Amino acid sequence: MMDMGSTPFEITINVVKTVLVFLMMVQLVPILVWVERRGSAFIQNRFGPNRIGPLGLMQLLADAVKFLTKEDFVPDKGNKYLFYAAPIFALIPASIAYMAIPMSTPLLIGDSKFLIQGFEVNVGIVFILGVSSLAAYTILMAGWGSGSKFALMGAMRASAQIISYELALGLSIVGVIMTYGTFNLSEMIAQQQGFLTFNGFGSTLTMPLPNWGIFFQPLGALIFFAAAFAESNRLPFDLAEGEAELVAGFHTEYGGFKMLMFFIGEYGHMMIASGLFATFFLGGYNIPWTTVQGVHDWLASFGFSADLTNVLNTVLHFLMYNVKFLILLWIFIHVRWTLPRFRYDQLMDLGWKTMLPWALANTILTSIVIFAAAQFAF
């Protein structure tokens, strides 16, 4: 059926991978918080946290200790079960969805093939969208369970926003799916190797650019990028926690480690958006202008053994994926400290009256071009 573990060896590997990917995500969060605080200080001409440890890096550890030792507070009028359940549920969609993103070319050792991703789902995109759409529940649970008007209002805003922008996000991906003709993320990445090549109208055109999805789907990339900000509830779309109006939105009543778990969930959504953007539009783990096989042959020309070549190939592609991933995460942070917040009616207008029609137009245009390119020749 699928490689979900037909032998104890496969089950063990899968469990280890699941734990590893989850730990990677959780460990990246403090670093991102540090980058966010230092980066915002850099943008705003301040110092930022620079007292504890070199460059203020130990600030994360101090924060974690502070979060863990804070008082465990539950509002009197709130719903205790939902209040405690919400932060835990906040971690689940983000971490499960991220595991479906391939982070490097599969590692071949002997007869075994190790996928550098949590698990491979044949309909990767649908799975990731489906799982991450469950994040709206955690926000609603937190908002209602807090028993506070600020929290409830923030939760309503956040979930309405997530549902609205999910449409534009989903439709912007339809063009990508049609271009590659597959739902499978690994197959998409495999089609983005080498030089930019347009096949159609009976001829082939090659350009000195990497063969990335962004050149086939520029409008889709733009809509996906904007909708991804809204989906992860970050500025300029962070209406859910507009400080001036709502204190802090749905996590007003949360403190200590429970709030940190919401933070991890939010950064998790940022990571999913970055990983997906890299996969759809920036060639995933592919190194620009070359192919996976090309890198493999180049490494083999140094005279390494077959296994070592494969390991180095996988490591190189993993590093390439991480370069793209981290640049995108930095763009997320940079935008947050550069743009002001939308007003709520502007937000809904942008979602329903601008991005949704453009995403639909992109879908129709893509299907027409694909049909024409396959049918006619010059």
Partner 1 sequence: MTDAILFWFLAFVTVGAGLSVVLMSNPIYSALSLAMTMVGVSALFVTLGAFFLAGVQLIVYAGAVMVLFVMVIMLFDLKHEIQAFTRGKITGAVKIASVGILAGLVVGAITLSTKAIELSQKTQADADTGKTYADNTMALAQNLFLQNVFGFEALGVLLLVIAVGTVALSRSRGGTHARD
Contact residues for partner 1, defined by CB under 8 A: 1-2, 4-6, 11, 82, 121-123, 126-127, 129-131, 133-134, 136-137, 140-141, 143-144, 152, 155-156, 159-160, 162-163, 166, 170, 183
- Cβ burial of 353 (10 Å; 0-12, 13-18, 19+) is exposed
Q: Which is nearer to partner 1, 173 or 292 (CB)?
A: 173
Nearest 10 degrees: Cα torsion 203, 204, 205, 206: -170
Q: To the nearest whole angstrom, how small is the minimum distance from the Cβ of residue 123 to partner 1?
A: 4
Q: To the nearest whole angstrom, how small is the minimum distance from the Cβ of residue 19 to partner 1?
A: 18
Q: Which is nearer to partner 1, 130 or 218 (CB)?
A: 130
Q: Which is nearer to partner 1, 121 or 295 (CB)?
A: 121
Q: Which is nearer to partner 1, 131 or 271 (CB)?
A: 131
Q: To the nearest whole angstrom, how small is the minimum distance from the Cβ of residue 361 to partner 1?
A: 19
Q: To the nearest whole angstrom, how small is the minimum distance from the Cβ of residue 4 to partner 1?
A: 7
Contact 162, 230 (CB under 8 A): yes
Q: To the nearest whole angstrom, how small is the minimum distance from the Cβ of residue 155 to partner 1?
A: 8
Euclidean distance between CA atoms 376 and 139, whole angstroms: 50
Q: To the nearest whole angstrom, how small is the minimum distance from the Cβ of residue 325 to partner 1?
A: 24
Q: Which is nearer to partner 1, 163 or 339 (CB)?
A: 163
First-residue to last-residue Cα distance in the chain: 44
Contact 310, 107 (CB under 8 A): yes
Q: How many whole angstroms from its chain centre is CA 197?
A: 27
Q: Which is nearer to partner 1, 141 or 235 (CB)?
A: 141
Contact 161, 230 (CB under 8 A): yes
Tell me the sheet residues that pair with 196: 207
- Hey, what are 129's tokens? 């969208």
